[in-house]
């Protein structure tokens, strides 16, 4: 949800608050010296830690290596971007001995950076920049759509860094300001997980004040594929580290907003949004289209089960997906409605006018200099090349993401799944369906629970149910992109 809309806060899943954004200039002055790209070099000698506060230069990166990751290094510098009330850092994770570079933003907590938890946020796509989450949803500043500020952003008092230290990571390579020197790519989630783990390990072990802090992995949309795999890789590497007597990452929870998880439930969920009452009290799709969708749905489900799930057959799976898209989702795609909020029309790139404004803002030379951007390419909200590469590998379909989630729950990793009820792309009803059939030891108890209303000032704001480490929450009247304060309350209170 964007800055002009309601921002949600709950106590226990929080309390609802609506607010207007206040104009706030965040880039008081921009230096004139170019940022040094630095050079890649393997770490030598003993590994040492330092304080993040020791990094004071806004003009040059400090390169940090780690003996266990000789092909990786993190470069970081201080920045005056977005939130003048806290220390802000930007930088790159260099991968493959400097061939690939993943860009990140880091904002210290406004409350107590020396003791607050750490959260990593990623956007989905695949191929979409986390700058979208930063400037449209949950970051310290929002893109200014009203021309109320002098520099293009507005202050966000409800940012997630109100209570946590927050990373925004552009991954995989090619996303946002991340880039490759020689055309290298990452084309699967499992390969991307290795780079995310290396980045987190180098950061936590280098900056000693964060060592042992609770770490929360959060994201949305294709994050339903990314995050379970990333978290599972972190957990497995922690097991190896424990056996070898090394430090581990204190990964405490995974938070997925409007995520794509079980592909078998996607089209059933979309049917309920359009032709049932999952979004509105009265279905908005025409009766004739609903009849066509209802007739096609069994064939869609059968084809996907046989070719994408029971036995993965690339040709058969692609044919099944094409059939489902054309026959079940085709009517909505021709409707002109917003894929991410069915209560709105689709306007502009990604159905939001904010997307183009963010691109123009981040392409300004002064902003790129402030951030320390090195890539010569212009900013793209969602990189089509990255998306095509993942789609060519059928990454969404090759590994059932719900299997990772079940494994994490069995090991006690807390999981928050939240969904806005107006989202069509990765609708809440699809999440409801896959959670009900998720194979883990808490499944029976979960299905015995009734949804409970959570209310704000006497008004229903959504529904929630839990079983052990799993919580599922809906946010009534919200779309795909939600800056949900409930997540912070859930993280900090449990």
Active-site amino acid positions: 221, 423, 480
Q: How far, in Å, CA of 334 to CA of 177, rounded?
A: 32
100 by DSSP, 3-state: which?
A: strand
By three-state DSSP, how is residue 206 classified? helix
Question: Whole-angstrom Cα distance, residue 89 to residue 75?
Answer: 10
| Dihedral sign (CA 461, 462, 467, 469) | negative
Q: Read off the tokens for 114.
A: 């020396």
Partners of 455 in the beta sheet?
460
Helix (H, G, I), strand (E, B), or coil: what is residue 313?
Answer: coil
Cα separation, 81 vs 152, in Å, equals 12
3 state DSSP class of 232: helix
DSSP conformational letter for 412: T
Q: Is 257 exposed, middle or buried (0-12, 13-18, 19+ CB in 10 A)?
A: buried
Cα(174)–Cα(102) distance, integer angstroms: 8
Identify the bridge partners of residue 75 per DSSP, sorted by sequence position. Answer: 63, 92
DSSP letters spanning 55-85: ---SSBPEEEE-TT-TT-EEEEEEE--S-TT
Instruction: Give the list of residues 6+ apart from residue 324 with CB closer than 8 angstroms, or none.
Output: 267, 296, 300, 303, 304
Which residue in 97, 47, 92, 89 sits closest to 72, CA to CA?
A: 97
């Amino acid at each position: 949800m964007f800055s002009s809309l309601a921002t949600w806060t709950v106590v226990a899943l929080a309390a609802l608050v609506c607010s207007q954004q206040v104009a706030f200039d965040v880039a008081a002055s921009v230096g004139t010296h170019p940022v040094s790209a630095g050079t890649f070099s393997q770490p030598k000698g003993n590994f040492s830690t330092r304080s993040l506060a020791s990094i004071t230069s806004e003009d040059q990166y400090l390169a940090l290596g780690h003996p266990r990751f000789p092909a990786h290094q993190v470069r970081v510098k201080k920045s005056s971007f977005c939130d003048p009330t806290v220390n802000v850092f930007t930088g790159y994770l260099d991968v493959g001995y400097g061939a690939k570079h993943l860009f990140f933003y880091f904002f210290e907590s406004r409350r107590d950076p020396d003791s607050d938890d750490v959260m990593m946020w990623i956007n989905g796509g695949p191929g979409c920049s986390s700058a979208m989450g930063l400037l449209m949803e949950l970051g310290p500043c929002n893109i200014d759509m009203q021309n109320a500020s002098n520099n293009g952003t507005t202050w966000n008092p409800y940012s997630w860094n109100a209570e946590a230290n927050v990373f925004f990571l552009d991954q995989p390579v090619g996303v946002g300001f991340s880039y490759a020197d020689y055309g290298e790519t990452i084309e699967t989630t499992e390969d991307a997980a290795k780079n995310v783990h290396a980045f987190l390990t180098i950061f936590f072990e280098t900056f000693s004040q964060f060592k042992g802090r609770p770490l929360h992995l959060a994201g949305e949309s294709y994050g339903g594929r990314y995050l379970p795999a990333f978290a599972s890789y972190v957990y497995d590497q922690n097991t190896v580290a424990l056996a070898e007597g090394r430090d581990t990452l204190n990964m405490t929870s995974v938070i997925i907003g409007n995520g794509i998880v079980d592909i078998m439930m996607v089209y059933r969920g979309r049917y309920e949004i359009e032709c049932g009452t999952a979004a509105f009290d009265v279905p908005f799709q025409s009766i004739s289209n609903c009849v066509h969708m209802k007739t096609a749905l069994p064939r869609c489900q059968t084809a996907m089960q046989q070719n994408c799930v029971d036995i993965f057959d690339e040709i058969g799976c692609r044919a099944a997906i094409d059939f489902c898209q054309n026959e079940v989702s085709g009517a909505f795609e021709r409707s002109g409605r917003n894929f991410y909020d069915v209560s709105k029309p689709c306007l502009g790139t990604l159905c939001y006018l904010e997307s183009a404004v963010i691109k123009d803002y981040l392409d300004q030379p002064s902003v790129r200099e402030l951030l320390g951007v090195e890539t010569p390419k212009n900013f793209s909200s969602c990189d089509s090349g990255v998306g095509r590469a993942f789609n060519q590998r059928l990454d969404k379909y090759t590994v059932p993401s719900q299997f990772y989630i079940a494994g994490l729950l069995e090991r006690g990793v807390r999981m928050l799944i939240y969904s806005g009820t107006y989202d069509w792309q990765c609708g809440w009803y699809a999440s409801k369906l896959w959670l009900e059939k998720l194979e883990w030891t808490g499944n029976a108890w979960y299905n015995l629970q009734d949804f409970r209303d959570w209310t704000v000032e006497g008004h229903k704001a959504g529904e929630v149910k839990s079983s052990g480490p799993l919580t599922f929450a809906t946010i009534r009247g919200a779309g795909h992109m939600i800056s949900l304060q409930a997540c912070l309350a859930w993280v900090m209170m449990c």
